[in-house]
Amino acid sequence: MDDVRLRSRAPNARLWLAGGWLSLLLAAAILAPLIAPQDPLAQDLMFERLPPFWMQGSEPGFWLGTDSLGRDLLSRLIFGARIAFIVAFAAATAACLAGSTLGLVAGYFGGWADRIISRIVDVWMAFPPVLFAILLVAVLGTGLHSVIIAIAVIDWTRFCRVVRAEAMVQSRMDYVENARIAGFGRMGIMLREVLPNVLPSIVALLSLEMGIAVIVEAILSFVNLSISTDAPTWGGIIAEGRLSIHQAWWVLVFPLVTLFLTVLSFSQFGEGLKDRYDPVLR
């Protein structure tokens, strides 16, 4: 009994904490032009490498300090959240739709469909993902859409593998057999019986994947392959911070903390949702 109660209490706390941070960030991203204290692109060499507000030498209005070109760090982080969320939602949704569909088909129908899809997944898994992403973006040309396509093209396998395995287990269950005896078609059973039971895993993975997409975008902009060099991306800020680490630690620390919390929140949010809506645990 105690064990069950612990289980249902802990996920709620992390669901709220993670959801809270993500909502805050999403609000900041949507309202960016209204709430950002400065223009994220405005350079001012008079104000280069200003420290955060509590340190000596800071200037009012530049809360988290500035980078080596005098651009306001807080404003860049807020505008960077826009790019992070666009990539997270678009890329993760695309990867989820493609991967879950293929996984469902492979796991439920089995046979040739399964063999072909599994073989493709094997090939995909033999690529180092970061290198694959960099290669795809280089081929497609830098830009937001290339980043989104690259992440979707690489990460659909995550959904495919999990959904395939779960669909396989579900399709051997009695209720699927009952539905067949009751006269439902295979397509109908797959969508109406198997899919809802696989859904909690898909939702958890989707949230996890959003965190991964944010990281991949940061990595791509870190190696200067995401969108234009000027654009305020978290990875771009980190790359800048890595260079001036001995002169201005804050340029690395703040985007790092933001990224840290965001990735952690996406994964905890997913896990929390899964525990909450998993029919077995519930």
Q: Which residues bind other proteins (CB under 8 A)?
A: 119-120, 122-123, 125-132, 134-136, 138-139, 141, 211-212, 215, 218-219, 222-225, 238, 242, 245-246, 249, 252-253, 256, 259-260, 263-264, 267-268
Other C-beta atoms closer than 10 Å to the C-beta of 177 total 12
Residue whose CB is less far from other proteins, 78 or 154: 154
Least distance to other proteins, CB of residue 126, Å:
4
- Render the burial of 39-52: b for 16+ CB within 10 Å, e for the rest: ebeeebeebbbbbb
- Render the burial of 185-207: b for 16+ CB within 10 Å, e for the rest: eeeebbeebbbebbbbbbbbbbb
Residue whose CB is less far from other proteins, 80 or 129: 129
Residue whose CB is less far from other proteins, 105 or 237: 237
Least distance to other proteins, CB of residue 159, Å:
17
Residues 279, 198: Cα–Cα separation, whole Å: 10
Residue whose CB is less far from other proteins, 189 or 208: 208
Least distance to other proteins, CB of residue 123, Å:
3
CB contact set of 21 (below 8 Å; sequence gap of 6+): 261, 262, 265
DSSP 3-state of 78: helix
Least distance to other proteins, CB of residue 27, Å:
23
Least distance to other proteins, CB of residue 107, Å:
19
Least distance to other proteins, CB of residue 208, Å:
8
CB contact set of 87 (below 8 Å; sequence gap of 6+): 144, 147, 148, 151, 213, 214, 216, 217
Residue whose CB is less far from other proteins, 189 or 251: 251
DSSP 3-state of 66: strand
Residue whose CB is less far from other proteins, 113 or 134: 134
Residue whose CB is less far from other proteins, 115 or 192: 115
Residues 166, 268: Cα–Cα separation, whole Å: 21
Least distance to other proteins, CB of residue 34, Å:
30
Which candidate, 254, 256, 153, 139, places its Cα nearest to that of 213? 153
